[in-house]
Amino acid sequence: MNDEQLLRYSRHIFLPQIDIDGQLALCDSHVLVIGLGGLGAAALPYLAASGIGQLTLVDDDHVDLSNLPRQIIHPQDRVGMSKAESAAATVMQLNHDVRVHTEIRRADAAWLEQVLPQFSLVLDCTDEPLVRYALNKAALKHRIPWVSAAAVAMDGQLTVFDPRRADSPCYRCLYPDVQPDQRNCSESGVLSPLVGVIGTLQAVEALKLLSAAGESLCGRLLSFDARASRFHEWRITRRPDCADCAAQS
C-alpha cells in the first residue's frame, strides 16, 4: 500500500483483529455481489470504501422509481439505468482504487460454475431462491465462502456458508426445497432501513471472512424482527442426507 492508502485505511489497520495484513488481504480480494437492490445497495458502499481490490457486480434489472427509498446507491437521475452500471458509478465515486466489473445478466448455474473460482467471496443479495441453489452447488464445488441474506416486510436474516470448513452447513441444509410461500418485496412490501441493517451486516461478515478477523456466522442464522427491534440466533447443522453437500464429504 502507498502512503495515501495507509492513511485512508488507518482505522482498519489500527484494529488488532485486522492490522496491516488483514487490510492487505482486503485489497487483494475479488468479491462477487449478486443483486444490486436493497441488500446490495447497503453492503456495496462499505466493501468499496473498505478497499476491496476488485468487485464484480451482477444484476439484470434496471433502476425503478419504487426502488429509490431503499436502494440508496441509485440516485433519482438514474431511473431506467442498469442497476449494475449505476452501482458501479457509485463505487467509483467512493473509491477510485477499486476495480469494478459489471455483468448485466442473471447469475445462472452455467455462468456461476464457469466464473466462481476467480472470486475470494460472494455476497448473495438476490431474492431468487433458484439462484441461491445454483450458487450453493458452485460454491461447494469450488470451496468459495458466501454471505447470504434476505429481507422482506419487517423481517431480515443473515448467515454465512463456508465450504472450506468441514462443519459448515450449506444453503440446502437450511432450505432443502424451494419455499412455495416465499414472500417478496413487490408483494409484501419492505421497511426501507431494514435492508440497510441486514445489508450492512453482510458487509461486516464479508470483511471479517476476508481479513480473518473475528468469528463468522457460519453455522448460525441471525434473524432480525424490526417490529420489536429484536435479534435472534439459530444454530444450523449439516444434514447427513443433504442432496448438495453430503456428496462433497
Range 120-130 average pLDDT: 95
Q: How would DSSP label each residue in 163-227?
A: TTSTT---HHHH-SS--TT---HHHH-B-HHHHHHHHHHHHHHHHHHHHT-S---BTEEEEEETT
Question: How many angstroms separate the CA atoms of 1 and 150, rounded?
Answer: 35
Q: What are phi and psi of 120, to 5 degrees?
A: -80, -30
Q: 28: helix, coil or strand?
A: coil
Quick one: which of 142, 136, 40 has its CA closest to 91? 40
- pLDDT above 70 (res 84): yes
Query: Residue 186: its pLDDT value, please?
Result: 61
The model's confidence at residue 237, banded by pLDDT at 50, 70 and 90, is: very high
The model's confidence at residue 125, banded by pLDDT at 50, 70 and 90, is: very high
- pLDDT above 60 (res 26): yes
Q: Would you state the cell numbers that stand for residue 169, as one nine-digit string?
A: 452447513
- pLDDT above 90 (res 171): yes
pLDDT in tens, 174-226: 999 876 556 665 666 899 999 999 999 999 999 999 999 999 999 999 999 99
- pLDDT above 60 (res 127): yes
Dihedral through CA 154, CA 58, CA 131, CA 197, nearest 10? -20
More confident: 85 or 190:
85
The lowest-confidence range among 23-37, 112-126, 167-181 is 167-181
Range 147-169 average pLDDT: 96
Q: Would you state the cell numbers that stand for residue 109, as one nine-digit string?
A: 448455474
Which residues, listed in sequence order, are joined to residue 32 by a DSSP beta bridge? 56, 122
The model's confidence at residue 249, banded by pLDDT at 50, 70 and 90, is: low
- The mean predicted confidence, pLDDT, of the chain is 94
Angle formed by the axes of helices 38-49 and 192-211, to 10°? 40
Q: What domains sit in the chain, N to C, each tagged with a CATH number? A: 3-248 (3.40.50.720)
Query: Residue 247: its pLDDT value, please?
Result: 73
- pLDDT above 70 (res 95): yes
Question: How many angstroms separate the CA atoms of 231 and 240, rounded?
Answer: 29
The lowest-confidence range among 21-30, 85-94, 175-184, 222-231 is 175-184
Output the furthest CA–CA distance in the chain (Å, rounded).
53
Query: Residue 166: its pLDDT value, please?
Result: 92
Alpha helices in the chain (DSSP H): 3-8, 10-13, 19-27, 38-49, 83-94, 109-115, 129-142, 171-174, 185-188, 192-211
